[in-house]
A and B are shown apart, each in its own frame.
Chain A
Amino acid sequence: MSRTAPIHPRFSVFWQRFLNGVILRYTLMVLLVLLLFGAILLISGRNPLQSYKDMLAFTLGSAYGFSEVLVAMTPMLITALAVALPSRLILINVGVEGQLYMGACFATWGALTFRDLPAWCLLPLMALLGMAGGALWAFIPGYLRALGIVNETITTLLLNSVAPKIVSFFIFGFWHSPMDTDKTANFVPAARLPTFFGTRVDLSLVIALVLLALFWWVMRYTRWGLEMRAIGGNPQAARRNGIPVSAYLVVIMCIGGAIAGLAGMAQVSGYYGLLLANFSRGTGYMGFLISWLSFGDPLGILLTSFVVAIIFTGGNLLQLTQGLPFAVINILLAFTLFVVLARPTFLKEKAS
């Protein structure tokens, strides 16, 4: 896999593109997606127009639906950030899925072992453990990459397959509740992230937004951001200018992993309230796609995650009201991605 072409070209590219006749482009893409998915709905005997109306009314028209959009958006924001940060050094972190599992695993250990601690002590501890788990899982590919031994794309993919098995090992072997074999008992209330206004929106949304803002600030206004951009632009030149490139590669990969681990902690502590074997079906890969679609730009990540979350939540509703299998959301999502990936040249921005 080559690394000559950067995945995320430049910092402000997303905004340049956003301003370049964006409305026409995005409207056409949305229409195309709705047409394609409408065909699928028709084939399976559902009314597409009614379905779309239901989806919109639910996700944007009701307070509960909107809160569910925010719930779905939160892990996407964090995992996309876990990809976007390393991508600035042209590190391709496809390993968020595994790092997420390790984060969830470490955080669960904390939740089960220190269950008597008060929440103000236990939650930060779980967050730190989660980040440590994710960072550990990212350290291996980061270190191997910095030594120039193995490409991080390959190693992160391999480790993605290992992490869920480690989680299963602990759940089935030690942590499962008396009733089930494939999940832990519910966490004690002190190990749960606080939620807002009686919805399922929890503190991790705030954390995600703060992290995104921090990312934007670091990249824009600090020396680290400048040096990272230098490495991303030309690692050879950066090295000759005295920037410790290898150290950056390892540290940034680990920070990316730590963010992914935090997403895992937020999933078990906030969304699920327990650890379930194979709980994530592609959350980490979703983060990769979102980061890639938004060129690693923080505001782009926010917008893209929001749109994808609407698709997800709306699709969830379709499953309930139209009796479609849950996984059909993935078709809608995939059509969206296909259309964005394959958009005809007249919908693409002019090459600058």
Chain B
Amino acid sequence: MSARPHAGLSHRTALLYLAPWLVSLAAFHLYPLASAVHLSFTDRNLLRATDPRFVGLANYRAILADPAFARAMKTTAVFVVGSVPLTILLALALALFLARPMRARGAARAIVFFPSVVSFAVVALVFKSVYAPNGPLLSLLATIGIRLPSILNAPSLALPAVMAMDVWMAAGYYAVLLLAGLLAVPADLYDAARLDGAGAWATLTRITLPAIRPVLLFALVINSIRAFQVFVEMYVMTRGGPLSSTVTAVYYLYEEAFFRFEMGRACAASFILFAVILALTLLQVWRIGLRAPLTESGR
């Protein structure tokens, strides 16, 4: 390559163009992150006028010993374990169905993806009215003889009802993601399997699933991370109720910060959650095995 006098940007120009992000990075990422670490070691409470004191690990200890936190973690675990595997299975089934050659694929893809472009808050609001005492779901169930109490006011039904909505929404999203993976599997793999006389089940387990394994793992990991942080649905539909049965980890954190104004404890809780999410992610990647780099599997 010959040296060109004008090739590329000068350092000064590059820095100038980088500046908006550098400012944003410092002000809205690095500074808040550092301040969250610091706050998590103080007894900062917005309702107290006195200066926050350094309390060491007291916030972390208090949260880990708080029965309400333990309960929130359990509720979150139920939410994640109950919805994520089901979501991925349904998404896989949907994607396998849509991967068959058909004219309506584009339309079907758009329809199952559609809820994902609508505001979570709006979707939650619509489901709140679907689940309402005089709403369509209860009347539909009543016509076939099943009589349920007001769904979102029943401690045993509220969490499953929110989970059902989450599965419905996320299955469509991940179906489209997995479909992209399925359509990228080279056709000659299938031809070779057919020549070897492989049946439908053998083709699925020996060819299709190994081929889309990276996308499948990616979907599992990002859906777990998202489900672990579920908040908006709870805020809109149940406000953590009834009887705290839908207080999830992030909802607990929200109440700690914005009802009790315990900012130090809320920050400590956020780092505990961060650590749990990270551990969970690494565990999934390690258990299921990651043959292909994650960065390529998102496509």
Pairing of A with B: no
